[in-house]
Amino acid sequence: MGVLLAKANHAFTDCFEIAETLRAMANDTEEQVQVEKNEESYLIQLAGRTTPKGLHCLSIRLTTEYLFLQPEERQFPNQHKLQDLDFYHYAVFSDEIMACAVVVNSTTASAKEPEKIVFHVVTDSLNLPAISMWFLLNPPGKATIDVQSIENFEWLSTEYSSALKEQKSNDPRYASALSHLRFYLADIFPALDKIVLFDHDVVVQRDLTGLWSVNLNGKVHAAVETCHESEASFHSMHFFMNILDQFSAKRLNASVCTWAFELHLICVSKAYFPGVLLQGLKRPLWKTESLPLGWIIFYNQTVALEKSWHAFGLGHNSGLSQGDIEHAAVIHYDGIMKPWLEIGIAEYKGYWSKHVQYDHPYLQECNIHE
């Protein structure tokens, strides 16, 4: 034993220095890994907010064609149906051409009576020509469609617009007026009774006629609830709300279930709360997103839909059950990994891409492929 110890001491005379060196190397490696993780996260966020070259090309191509049309050629057919209460009215507020196309295509393809569907698309003035041209060239079968620009809503409060610009959000999606229009449905559609509002990153897989027979029991809003942390799109009010503000503390129970806004049925005549909107934009009642505002506005005014109506998480969770996805009436690509982006989750892209006309000449010209 003595001989072995002597040999060891002779062979490893600098054990302490070696240990310190290895410890320093380990720390450096951990720091480098964290730096690379931060860079990866930044690049994913950047990719999620950047328009792909092909979609930018498509927008320019469609806009150019639209500008050559005569005023009468820019009109959509069946405009008399836009305020007819005998039809099923759906709305989507978006500045993404292909996203709007997939929402409309998947809804009409899944419908038993597409001739009873009226789609209301609202975008901004920059994207109005391109989105309008797309649907003029590719009408939604027997369904009716209309495209409007948010800039044409003269009633939209200038006070609201200035307050919205003052919001400090790193994500332009949450500072967009389009994302807040859901709280002005009574102004946008004053003649309608009910409307189903979609986010632009959903795909409809089943006929939605049954949604219109949901009994609201005098409430304003029907949506799928998210109550458990194990759910893909769980959000806690504690995380988003300023529970120290007196308005929030007195009015809200921050531990109640929240709900998903990507698919919801709204009683239009009762959905008007501009006072709460302006108050929240001026005071720190919530953080950045429009989700918390919706939770305030529809607090105690929501009827819970069955879970089978809506599956979410396809834009950020790669571990979802295939059965849950395929049995849902509507699936939602919530998160940064949208299906029209390269960073979209590959195993979920097929549900979206099957509603895209990849053989369309304009998509071919702009090198947009599946």
Spans of all domains in the chain: 1-9+16-48, 53-366
Query: Is the pLDDT confidence value at 262 over 90?
Result: no
Q: What is the pLDDT of the chain when averaged over all its residues?
A: 81
Using CA atoms, how far residue 168 sits from 124, 129, 174, 245, 286, in Å, is 21, 30, 10, 18, 12
Higher-pLDDT residue of 349 and 23 is 349
Kindly state the average pLDDT of the residues 200-222: 91
> Is the pLDDT confidence value at 8 over 80?
no
Is pLDDT above 80 for 270?
Answer: no
How far is it, in rounded angstroms, from Cα 50 to Cα 100? 17
300: pLDDT strictly greater than 80? no
Which of 134-143, 274-283, 358-367 is predicted with the least confidence, judged by mean pLDDT? 274-283
What's the confidence (pLDDT) of residue 177?
A: 76
Mean pLDDT check: name the lowest of 50-54, 303-307, 342-346: 50-54
The predicted structure's pLDDT at residue 144: 97
Pairing verdict, β 310-312 and 225-226: unpaired
The DSSP symbol for 364 reads H
Tokens linked to 40: 């990866």
Q: Which residue has the higher pLDDT, 135 or 298?
A: 135
In whole angstroms, give the CA distance from residue 208 to residue 116: 12
Top pLDDT among 28 and 155 is at 28
Window from 106-120, 178-192, 229-243, 257-271 with minimum mean pLDDT: 229-243
pLDDT at 40: 66
Task: Identify whether the C-beta of residue 267 lies closer than 8 Å to the C-beta of residue 298.
Answer: no
User: pLDDT tens across 242-255, in order?
Assistant: 554 555 556 666 66
If one counts every other C-beta atom within 10 angstroms of the C-beta of residue 320, the result is 18
Percent of the chain scoring above 70 in pLDDT: 74
pLDDT at residue 220 in the model? 84
Say what the pLDDT of residue 32 is: 81
CA atoms within 13 A on the CB side of 156: 19
Distance, in Å, from the CA atom of 39 to the CA atom of 332, rounded to the nearest integer, reads: 27
CA torsion sign for 12, 14, 20, 26 is negative
> Which class would CATH give 53-366?
alpha beta
Q: What is the percent of the chain with per-residue pLDDT over 90, rounded to a whole number?
A: 44
**What does the pLDDT look like over 69-82, one tens digit per residue?**
999 999 999 999 99
pLDDT value of residue 17: 73
User: Helices 53-67 & 128-137, crossing angle to 10 degrees?
Assistant: 80
The sign of the CA dihedral 197, 257, 316, 172 is positive
Q: What is the pLDDT of residue 42?
A: 58
Whether residue 124 contacts residue 181, with contact meaning beta carbons closer than 8 Å, is answered with no
Q: Which amino acid is at 223?
A: A
In this prediction, residues 190-197 reach a mean pLDDT of 92
**For the purposes of burial, counting CB atoms within 10 Å of the CB of 76, is it exposed (0-12), middle (13-18) or buried (19 or more)?**
middle
Return d(Cα 345, Cα 272) in angstroms, integer: 37
